[in-house]
Chain A
């Protein structure tokens, strides 16, 4: 039934669309009069038509130029859509090579007293900005925009960077009614293309060829083939924001291009990256990996001294890991290549990701460990699937041992061996070995990070709760703790601890191992809580988990489009020991339960027991699987709802 319905919709749409004229300037009154988007009535604006045309222009004097021509017609439905009336275009320069914008023009269409009126974009509505040494921006500010306006603009970006074709966006934050995208590439350039697999949308690509000829001068010419890739689509839904998303653009539909090789007439094939072996080779040779790994003179003395007498390979690795972290600070620049080289990073004490982790790898190799670089893409950079160089923007180090691989990232000061900071934990990375072989390496953590809390509490007659807390953190929970409390003084630490715990005073705070990444952190303190106990009609009510309880379900939305991904597998073990005050007895305690989610992917246990004047309440949450599809969302939400309910159920005491 649903299929039939969809077909009908598509057919109808096609008929309607054909009636529309998408030539520049042919905006109709109907378009300006439309009050809301027919398929997405809440849309503030919509792209009625978008044409994206990329091709290589060949000039006898200057050679090739890569041209991308954009034509967009946008409907502004209401005031919240005004943002779309300013088009911001970012392009690049590098030294003397710079991209240029040309042919920018624009028109705004309104209905004024029943007439369709045009207002042209003037030069003074076009602003150029040199953002930095690498980035340029042009902003087109459309005139006379009001609710209902249709705006239309076009421009071309002419680029000297022939080997990098920009991503072709296929989705936007507003609906796209009709999209025509085409990329035409002469046979001299061979690109691989891929769609974003995380997007649920699928676009067929129509491929065709045609022959072309280039006249070198009046008498000689070159015949060649133009490969054309075209996408034509209608009714592309808007990309919608959602809570707990790693990076929204990772879920957008787009088409990405990766150069494989160039083959010009009378020249040999120049290979870029067609296979993983090719990728590895090009990175080792052109990317400077071979050179970096062959160079040890700058650290030799330091490393020799550090490792003298040490035999255990993991101990060696740990010493080197700490040496790099002490010597070189990350300057917050990404990249899997070096900028100034490892030697100068070592000397200056600062470096980018490439410098730090290649230096680390080089030292590990020097010390006889089987270490190799692992290429990584950070979350905002997407996830590479096919052999690629440009899909990566980060590198870490992996030590391959008999039955395991130990991953190291020396840009982070608080991780232990085998732990990665969040930016590097993006699905999978590619290890590329010196011998040219390579393999996918899982970057997601499989070890469990624990937070165990034990709380001993005494109930006072005056309704004040006094007690002691012992918290233990391991794994990434310990790392998070170190990151949160780094560089703050005791007063600030206490203030942060007291935050959101009610009317509490915390004292005698002690921490252990805070400065030793990899070791379990212990945090101890005493507290006095004023509003933790309620007295009603001579009975006392206590929510046993006090401030350890999860009071609210973090999952608010009723349904979900994208998967839910937890940061890492976790275990939360909260134990509360309560001493019942003299003269009181326990009237009721919450029922113990065990709840299981997705066959053990998540479990929650709540156990309350009484032994004379002592009560013990234990709440244990374990999340073993970190990724849940949108279909599992509802069950996950219910699982959390039950947990919240149990954690906030009171124990009732009455006077004897």
Chain B
């Protein structure tokens, strides 16, 4: 529901979305198909390349020619062997186009495993359809793709295309390994720059692999051979953090007809401001008057900003329209004011305009939105990001506004845009800044529950849970669901309660403090289990949120926990009449690099009856650990599970 709505689409439309959703290009290739320069026999692939691979890039040749500041051609020739059905998505026999780019040539040949040609696709055989992602209302993006059903595996596809673009602000990067379970026999990249337009490039993760390269002002050339496939491993960093790639940007460029020049973030930001943002924040006198009235009795600028943000949330909705320059330039504030919808750029710019009308300074800020934290590369000024938020400079910590959500609290980023480098665009130029970090103690979920047990095993519970920080963003939506869905949410999430019956649900959404409280009353059956005249009482009334991790003795990638979390739970059990505690587990405290776990169980007396009070504190730290730590982390998780799983024994006294 946010912004660019990237998350739900990631699986199918990853490239497609990145493409226009803002910046970032995608590419492809070279000369005409000739059958001799490589053996297309799938059977000849080296075993180290088929290990963990669903497909093998046999030979990829990308040639980019910068013909002018507003013209570049990408020629792709990609020979790929698909080893099994899961390898189909690595074929990438498609190209995107729009009103500012065109596919000049496209063809493909399929070879069977023995290298015999079995099918040929000429330009007209490629399917053509619009590439409007499901989060977008409209865009001019289209895609032409090959549709082929394989009869057997392995088989080899030779794909060639030539694409011409007017926008040179994006230069396709070299990324030989585009995903998991894909190995590379050979991949090469040549960028020709006959006009000598000044350019910059940045090499990433090339150390440790053998790369042939030559670079000059007029040509860049890279090639690599025999890169084995990466296996996807749980809780590992995003593939871009370790896979080799080379980024390229021109110092003089064009974006849908708008030319520019930049070598630093300051210049790049200045160009964006001057050509895409400037003069788009004018508002009608009526609107200004309305906003002035709205904020007239506010005590300070923060309060004014808060009211304006609320006004935007109450009066607009998110609609993504990406046509031509509109993929990069916000809709005029006047227009948004009239139609009351817009995409992230439009709504951010509109909010900025409303703030401006009250002399509150704010800045349009470009970011990579997504649960995976991706930085704007501070060392490589170029068109980056896929989303826009608003920055309000403030004493102490800056204020950040997500303008596409109608429900997010003022100054709440959550896990979509937290803790990452962003580009703040000021009239005088661009600046890299870091968004708010949600520290481990801020991402707090705190539960207090009183559970009344009966001698048959049934219980009645009242439970209060407070969620803050990132946890707030995950739960507050429940407030607006139907009662039926709310009930089902608890029944599904707390499936260990048998015959759960929710009697009362009340929610408090404190948007100012960004704290969400659930107040629940519910009952259930068979919580305790009978063992002779004793009852076994599980102490983990709520099961701690641990990771269920596979064994992996061959772990290769580092372990990453992207956000710390703190859980503090208090469960107070009121024993049934006539029962006494017989045994309770000992106090435990575990401390590791990854976090801590503390469990204390004490017997108390309350109004004449016996109670067992369980206090559990579980902290998981944010961090990056070497692959060897994976086993220890997994043990930590399982230890927490078994400690939480302990039971008290209660016994009937009569």
What's the least CB distance linking B133 to chain A, in Å? 12
Besides A129-B130, A530-B642, A557-B484, 19 other A-B contacts (C-beta < 8 A)? A82-B317, A127-B138, A132-B129, A133-B129, A329-B150, A495-B552, A499-B550, A505-B551, A530-B638, A536-B536, A537-B583, A539-B531, A541-B531, A552-B495, A556-B495, A558-B487, A587-B532, A648-B529, A652-B532
Q: Which partner residue on chain B sits nearest A649 by CB separation?
A: B529
Cβ–Cβ < 8 Å partners of B152 in chain A:
329
**Contact between A144 and B86, CB atoms less than 8 A apart:** no
Cβ–Cβ < 8 Å partners of B492 in chain A:
556
What's the least CB distance linking A413 to chain B, in Å? 10
10 cross-chain pairs, A with B, having the tightest CB-CB distances, nearest first: A349-B151, A331-B149, A127-B138, A143-B339, A552-B495, A350-B149, A556-B491, A132-B129, A79-B406, A42-B482
Interface string of B253-297 (1 = CB under 8 A from A): 000000000000000000000000000000000000000000000
Cβ–Cβ < 8 Å partners of B149 in chain A:
329-332, 350
Query: Which residues of chain B in 507-532 are interfacial with respect to chain A, using CB atoms and an 8 Å cutoff?
Result: 526, 529, 531-532
Cβ–Cβ < 8 Å partners of A652 in chain B:
531-532
Could you write out 5 A-B pairs with CB less than 8 Å apart? A42-B482, A80-B480, A133-B127, A144-B338, A534-B646
What's the least CB distance linking A280 to chain B, in Å? 30
Given known contacts A42-B482, A650-B531, is B317 in contact with A131 (CB within 8 Å)? no
Query: Which residues of chain A in 177-215 are interfacial with respect to chain B, using CB atoms and an 8 Å cutoff?
Result: none
**Contact between B482 and A556, CB atoms less than 8 A apart:** no
Query: Which residues of chain B in 104-142 are interfacial with respect to chain A, using CB atoms and an 8 Å cutoff?
Result: 118-119, 127-130, 132, 137-138
**Contact between A487 and B529, CB atoms less than 8 A apart:** no
Cβ–Cβ < 8 Å partners of A531 in chain B:
638, 641-642, 645
Cβ–Cβ < 8 Å partners of B132 in chain A:
129, 131
**Contact between A145 and B649, CB atoms less than 8 A apart:** no
**Contact between A650 and B649, CB atoms less than 8 A apart:** no
Interface string of A76-104 (1 = CB under 8 A from B): 00111010011000000000000000000
B647 in the interface (beta carbon within 8 A): yes
Query: Which residues of chain A in 622-649 are interfacial with respect to chain B, using CB atoms and an 8 Å cutoff?
Result: 641, 644-645, 648-649
What's the least CB distance linking A272 to chain B, in Å? 31
Cβ–Cβ < 8 Å partners of A503 in chain B:
638, 641-642
Number of interface residues of B (CB under 8 A): 60
Given known contacts A146-B340, A536-B647, is B317 in contact with A85 (CB within 8 Å)? yes
**Contact between B138 and A139, CB atoms less than 8 A apart:** yes
What's the least CB distance linking A332 to chain B, in Å? 7
CA distance A499 to B549 in the complex (A): 8
A130 in the interface (beta carbon within 8 A): yes
Within the complex, which residue of A133, A141, A500, A648 is in contact with B548, where a contact is CB–CB below 8 Å?
A: A500
B315 in the interface (beta carbon within 8 A): yes
Cβ–Cβ < 8 Å partners of B641 in chain A:
502-503, 531
What's the least CB distance linking B129 to chain A, in Å? 4
**Contact between A498 and B551, CB atoms less than 8 A apart:** yes
Within the complex, which residue of A130, A498, A644 is in contact with B550, where a contact is CB–CB below 8 Å?
A: A498
Cβ–Cβ < 8 Å partners of B150 in chain A:
329
What's the least CB distance linking A118 to chain B, in Å? 13
Within the complex, which residue of B138, B315, B498, B548 is in contact with A644, where a contact is CB–CB below 8 Å?
A: B498
Given known contacts A86-B319, A129-B132, A537-B583, is B498 in contact with A553 (CB within 8 Å)? yes
**Contact between B341 and A141, CB atoms less than 8 A apart:** yes
Q: Which partner residue on chain A sits nearest B338 by CB separation?
A: A143
Cβ–Cβ < 8 Å partners of B529 in chain A:
648-650
CA distance A502 to B551 in the complex (A): 11
CA distance A80 to B407 in the complex (A): 10
What's the least CB distance linking B329 to chain A, in Å? 15
Given known contacts A82-B317, A328-B151, A350-B149, is B138 in contact with A145 (CB within 8 Å)? no
Cβ–Cβ < 8 Å partners of A82 in chain B:
317, 406
CA distance A503 to B637 in the complex (A): 10
B496 in the interface (beta carbon within 8 A): yes
**Contact between B137 and A86, CB atoms less than 8 A apart:** yes
**Contact between A79 and B638, CB atoms less than 8 A apart:** no
What's the least CB distance linking A114 to chain B, in Å? 15
Q: Which partner residue on chain A sits nearest B531 by CB separation?
A: A652
CA distance A146 to B310 in the complex (A): 13
Cβ–Cβ < 8 Å partners of A85 in chain B:
317
**Contact between B532 and A588, CB atoms less than 8 A apart:** yes
Within the complex, which residue of B118, B137, B531, B550 is in contact with A588, where a contact is CB–CB below 8 Å?
A: B531
B321 in the interface (beta carbon within 8 A): yes
Within the complex, which residue of A86, A350, A645 is in contact with B151, where a contact is CB–CB below 8 Å?
A: A350
B372 in the interface (beta carbon within 8 A): no
Cβ–Cβ < 8 Å partners of A498 in chain B:
550-551
Footprint of B on A, CB under 8 Å? 42, 78-80, 82, 85-86, 119, 122, 125, 127, 129-133, 139, 141, 143-147, 243, 327-332, 348-350, 486-487, 489, 495, 498-500, 502-503, 505, 530-531, 534, 536-537, 539, 541, 551-553, 556-558, 587-588, 641, 644-645, 648-650, 652
Cβ–Cβ < 8 Å partners of B526 in chain A:
645
**Contact between A133 and B338, CB atoms less than 8 A apart:** no
CA distance A328 to B149 in the complex (A): 10
CA distance A487 to B82 in the complex (A): 12
CA distance A652 to B533 in the complex (A): 12
B503 in the interface (beta carbon within 8 A): no
B588 in the interface (beta carbon within 8 A): no
Name which of A42, A119, A587 has the most chain B CB atoms within 10 A of its CB.
A42
Cβ–Cβ < 8 Å partners of B407 in chain A:
79
What's the least CB distance linking A343 to chain B, in Å? 16
CA distance A531 to B339 in the complex (A): 59
CA distance A139 to B151 in the complex (A): 39
B582 in the interface (beta carbon within 8 A): yes
Q: Which partner residue on chain B sits nearest A42 by CB separation?
A: B482
Given known contacts A42-B482, A129-B130, A531-B638, is B137 in contact with A141 (CB within 8 Å)? yes
**Contact between B86 and A139, CB atoms less than 8 A apart:** no
B89 in the interface (beta carbon within 8 A): no
Given known contacts A125-B339, A531-B645, is B319 in contact with A141 (CB within 8 Å)? yes
Cβ–Cβ < 8 Å partners of B52 in chain A:
489
Within the complex, which residue of B129, B638, B645 is in contact with A534, where a contact is CB–CB below 8 Å?
A: B645
B592 in the interface (beta carbon within 8 A): no
Query: Which residues of chain B in 41-97 are interfacial with respect to chain A, using CB atoms and an 8 Å cutoff?
Result: 52, 84-86
Query: Which residues of chain B in 554-604 are interfacial with respect to chain A, using CB atoms and an 8 Å cutoff?
Result: 582-583
CA distance A649 to B484 in the complex (A): 30
CA distance A327 to B340 in the complex (A): 57
Q: Which partner residue on chain A sits nearest B340 by CB separation?
A: A144
CA distance A641 to B525 in the complex (A): 10
What's the least CB distance linking B130 to chain A, in Å? 5
Q: Which partner residue on chain B sits nearest A125 by CB separation?
A: B339
CA distance A645 to B457 in the complex (A): 12
Cβ–Cβ < 8 Å partners of A641 in chain B:
498-499
B483 in the interface (beta carbon within 8 A): yes
**Contact between A556 and B645, CB atoms less than 8 A apart:** no
**Contact between A143 and B137, CB atoms less than 8 A apart:** no
What's the least CB distance linking A120 to chain B, in Å? 10
**Contact between A537 and B649, CB atoms less than 8 A apart:** yes
Cβ–Cβ < 8 Å partners of B482 in chain A:
42
Q: Which partner residue on chain B sits nearest A44 by CB separation?
A: B480
CA distance A329 to B129 in the complex (A): 24
Q: Which partner residue on chain B sits nearest A506 by CB separation?
A: B551
What's the least CB distance linking B49 to chain A, in Å? 15
Cβ–Cβ < 8 Å partners of B480 in chain A:
78-80
Cβ–Cβ < 8 Å partners of B550 in chain A:
495, 498-499
**Contact between B130 and A131, CB atoms less than 8 A apart:** yes
Name which of A486, A487, A489 has the most chain B CB atoms within 10 A of its CB.
A487
CA distance A649 to B528 in the complex (A): 10
**Contact between B314 and A147, CB atoms less than 8 A apart:** yes
Q: Which partner residue on chain A sits nearest B112 by CB separation?
A: A349
Interface string of B375-415 (1 = CB under 8 A from A): 00000000000000000000000000000001100000000
What's the least CB distance linking A111 to chain B, in Å? 13
Q: Which partner residue on chain A sits nearest B153 by CB separation?
A: A487
Cβ–Cβ < 8 Å partners of A127 in chain B:
137-138, 321
Cβ–Cβ < 8 Å partners of B130 in chain A:
129-132
